[in-house]
């Protein structure tokens, strides 16, 4: 399958980014069109590079998105508030993303984690007026999300499969297919992603404030 829209995601672990180099130095390769940037984690943490990455992504012509890393055991409303207070979306930004990839042990803890997922999504959706994207891996998708969140856009990480078709979900829009991408201007490996749809469909997941 030929994918038309490619992007990457980053956090402080990728170090300082020389944004002007990313596409200008990728000769004979597909230009990257979007980037999803780590913004927040838990109830208080803000990625130290978020502000710089957020501003520079827009400055250098990328469709930018931001994600929150969900931490089990911490109040989901406070986690949602952490994201809302620190990510100032503008028209044209990609929908907010919840990075939800940690499982829990035991029935009681699984129920609490599932409730936290629902709470974060609802709080952020109410604030922005759009349904956040759920980022996760295949095992957590099957445990918490499959069949219950078909109206929320889905982003799956899978670095082994040659095709993401094994996730038979109507709401699947993004595939993180590599964690070992190399880019000019970034010293550490980055995650590579593709959008599963047309450019017209991609536009539907940009905020229209």
Catalytic site residue from 101, 122, 125, 143: 101
Instruction: Give me 106's structure tokens.
Output: 């035991």
Alpha carbons 69 and 208: distance in angstroms, whole number: 24
Active site residue 203: no
| Residue listed under structure tokens 């939800």 | 100
SS (H, E, C) 78-126: HHHHHHHHHCCCCCCCECCEEECCCCCCCHHHHHHHHHHHHHHHHHHHH
Helix (H, G, I), strand (E, B) or coil at 149: coil
Alpha carbons 38 and 33: distance in angstroms, whole number: 17
- Considering only CA atoms, give the Rg of the chain: 16
What's the CA dihedral at 178, 179, 183, 187 to 10 degrees? -170
- Catalytic (active-site) positions: 101
């Amino acid at each position: 399958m030929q994918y038309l829209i490619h992007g990457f995601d980053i956090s402080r672990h990728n170090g300082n980014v020389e944004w002007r180099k990313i596409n200008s130095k990728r000769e004979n390769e597909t230009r990257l069109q979007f980037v999803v940037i780590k913004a927040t984690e838990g109830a208080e943490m803000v990625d130290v590079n978020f502000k710089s990455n957020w501003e520079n992504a827009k400055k250098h012509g990328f469709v930018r998105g931001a994600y929150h890393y969900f931490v089990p055991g911490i109040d989901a409303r406070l986690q949602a508030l952490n994201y809302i207070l620190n990510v100032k979306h503008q028209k044209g930004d990609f929908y907010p993303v919840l990075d939800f990839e940690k499982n829990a042990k035991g029935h009681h803890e699984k129920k609490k984690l599932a409730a936290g997922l629902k709470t974060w999504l609802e709080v952020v959706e109410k604030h922005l007026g759009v349904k956040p994207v759920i980022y996760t891996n295949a095992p957590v998708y099957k445990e918490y999300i499959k069949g219950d969140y078909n109206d929320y856009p889905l982003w799956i990480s899978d670095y082994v499969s040659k095709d993401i078709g094994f996730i038979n979900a109507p709401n699947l829009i993004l595939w993180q297919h590599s964690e070992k991408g190399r880019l000019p201007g970034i010293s550490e490996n980055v995650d590579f992603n593709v959008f599963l749809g047309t450019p017209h469909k991609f536009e539907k997941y940009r905020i229209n404030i």
